[in-house]
Structure 1
């Protein structure tokens, strides 16, 4: 790396109109000298990460491994940095004449991929040893990868509600906890829950929906999750509050629930994990578990564009956060609900609410940074900072949305006992 310094190469590729200054271990600098943030490239391995995976994935790898530092950036809440980094600047194609010289300067070793960070899942095609995508074993492993970090870690990030799904803010000055309570109550009202009804909550997390419905609406409820950590936590919570006679959290795949004839089913944040090709069987199985007149509330992240479906292959979210996660546009979900037999009664986008929810989670991570690092590790905590702040930007900029869709199973005569003008307030 003697002929051309890293800073010069960075300027050739990125230009100097970028939202950061670059400092490299070879003593060179690049980027925008007046920028608020500084990206520090600490060693050759950092260069290897960025050369072999240009863009967000290479930066994330180097940052996770501690080979790249971000000066002026709050690691728990890097929102301001990402807001500029994920802005309008584009990687420039370097002049063809300069490529051989840059390659010679970097050295062939720089083009050899270094070991992946331990937090990263391999590419899709390399995960076949764990079973086909969305097989039961592979789904269970994907859930464990993300949700079995530590209940103590999640308590610090999510807050007392332990609700890891989009909150719904009843007013601009509402707190996160008030918004999560309002979200669960909104779901209960959309489902028309009344005392004595039976509710199934699939992908129940730590049991927040089950607890709220049993406590405030007098129902009997079963929640199921593929995370044993969540199931144990949720069941203990119900027992502490004296609700275990009517509420139960099971460590179980939703496809293995034997009971049927439920009055209502809630699915809050599960659909992202099941796979688009499984939508027909997913909605059909939920339809069969409902009694006539029963309702399904499906709450999930969707793509904003009708042209986008499936995985973000090779991206940061797929490798580090939600292995095998898949999204579809809202219209595709509605179509599959209808094909399964549901009449779709109501749909609403809570996109702005999720942008605010993820911002609050990032602020919690920042406030509790040292303890979150202790409960996980520095690399994992850094990943969470990138993930939460990046997600907030995704919702703000309408790249992704959050839809609640309410479907109903009608009886043989097409009746469903649904109010002429429902009022969910």
Structure 2
């Protein structure tokens, strides 16, 4: 056996899940009764397998150079054990590295590029997303208030969790930045009586939510605008602002100005709730072993990971004070597995919606993306943080007395007490 095949055979034997590799010539290496099979159609994929470059191997799968067979839970367990080390290990880098990262971040997040990047992902196919999301099409981390909750229940719990953190009240002006298919926007309007404004860069989402607003008779009190956050009017401040699954698209170099923009849109004493994916490593800009490149190429072009410590620094530079920080990492792992399991159960329907070779590539990419991200959250390579923030401290001595013009009560009881 040649050295490459010997290395692959040793790697497969060390994996706790029975794995088999079938070579382009039909030769088989590994378990005789496998739960995961790699069928190589291109010898180049063999080197990626031997090196544990699972993200690059994922690209081989999307492009048809290798087939991956087996339950996605088993596939991801095998992938995690194939890695040569942690994908969040990264050197700090010198001043030149940081300068280059900043320049690239600024360049890739112009108004025009952001619009194209959002369109690439969110306008793939509304019907495709509807196959595996909950009925409200909430495309962000759910909140499993009890472990027995199903996905739809956990998503409604998440929407309410956000509304309660923001202490929404009837008649308040509420802004949802990156409102998606309108789940939070409509939940807040229907359950908390707010005057709600949402923005998105996705034309599909914009049209879909406006149809829902009309169907529900919420015109005049709820609106969805096709608008970049940088173009929001600052002349009429909002009482409360949410940003869910949005700041990952902003770019690390733009985060201080992003939070400064939210502060200018917020009335003094109001609250901002930022909900988004954060890096597990302090210094890495993306996951290693090819995983970051995979997501950039096939799923989220322009997405950038930022550690929670850097997020809080940017928040402070933007003139906001963090009042509450919560890590929902295991909640997102369970959410992603729910999405992945549903997609796997409906692959035939998905294949009809994403037709042609381009559609087939997208489907293969999403299969790996959903399951791979679930694995990444389980291992702590990435996390999900909710941060509640307000304008910088006022110097007032009555903050603990619940004055009417200050929204944050400085006690967590309000988030978890039963609803009245």
What's the TM-score bracket when you normalise by the shorter of the two chains? Answer: 0.7 to 0.9
Correspondence for 1:200: 175
Aligned residues of 2:45 and 2:65 also touching (Cα < 8 A)? no
Correspondence for 1:211: 186
Counterparts of 1:96-111 in structure 2 under 5 Å?
none
Query: Is 1:60 the equivalent of 2:58?
Result: yes
Task: State the alpha-carbon separation in 2 of the partners of residues 297 and 59 from structure 1.
Answer: 37
Task: State the alpha-carbon separation in 1 of the partners of residues 107 and 317 from structure 2.
Answer: 25
Aligned residues of 1:21 and 1:32 also touching (Cα < 8 A)? yes
* Counterpart secondary structure, 1:86: helix
Correspondence for 1:292: 268
Aligned residues of 2:173 and 2:238 also touching (Cα < 8 A)? yes
Correspondence for 1:228: 203
2:314 to 300, 311, 336: 336
Counterparts of 1:3-402 in structure 2 under 5 Å?
7=5, 10-11=8-9, 14=11, 16-18=13-15, 19=17, 20-33=19-32, 35-41=34-40, 43=41, 46-51=42-47, 55-71=53-69, 73-74=70-71, 78-87=72-81, 90=84, 132-259=107-234, 260-305=236-281, 307-312=282-287, 315-376=293-354, 377-402=359-384
Does 355-364 or 55-64 show the bigger shift? 55-64
State the Cα deviation string for residues 166-187 of structure 1 (Å, max 9, x = none): 0101111111111111111111
Correspondence for 1:407: 389
Does 287-296 or 411-420 show the bigger shift? 411-420
Task: State the alpha-carbon separation in 2 of the partners of residues 255 and 332 from structure 1.
Answer: 21
- How many residue pairs match? The answer is 379
Task: State the alpha-carbon separation in 1 of the partners of residues 8 and 144 from structure 2.
Answer: 43
Query: Deviation of residue 34 (structure 1)?
Result: 5.1
TM-score, structure 1 as length reference:
0.82
Query: Is 1:418 the equivalent of 2:414?
Result: no
State the Cα deviation string for residues 79-117 of structure 1 (Å, max 9, x = none): 2211122215649xxxxxxxxxxxxxxxxxxxxxxxxxx
What's the C-alpha RMSD, in Å, of the aligned pairs? 2.6
Aligned residues of 1:8 and 1:30 also touching (Cα < 8 A)? no
Task: State the alpha-carbon separation in 2 of the partners of residues 242 and 160 from structure 1.
Answer: 19
State the Cα deviation string for residues 363-408 of structure 1 (Å, max 9, x = none): 1101211111111132211211111111111111111111000001
Query: Deviation of residue 341 (structure 1)?
Result: 2.0
TM-score, structure 2 as length reference:
0.83
Task: State the alpha-carbon separation in 2 of the partners of residues 15 and 90 from structure 1.
Answer: 13
* Counterpart secondary structure, 1:132: helix
Correspondence for 1:112: none
Aligned residues of 1:161 and 1:208 also touching (Cα < 8 A)? yes
Aligned residues of 1:15 and 1:31 also touching (Cα < 8 A)? yes
Correspondence for 2:96: none
Report which of the two structures shows the higher radius of gyration computed on alpha carbons: 1
Instruction: Evaluate the alpha carbon distance shift between residue 49 and residue 58 of structure 1 in structure 2; reply closer, same or farther with a 3 A threshold.
Output: farther
Task: State the alpha-carbon separation in 2 of the partners of residues 40 and 290 from structure 1.
Answer: 54
Query: Deviation of residue 65 (structure 1)?
Result: 2.9
Instruction: Evaluate the alpha carbon distance shift between residue 297 and residue 15 of structure 1 in structure 2; reply closer, same or farther with a 3 A threshold.
Output: closer
Aligned residues of 1:6 and 1:29 also touching (Cα < 8 A)? no
Query: Deviation of residue 324 (structure 1)?
Result: 1.7
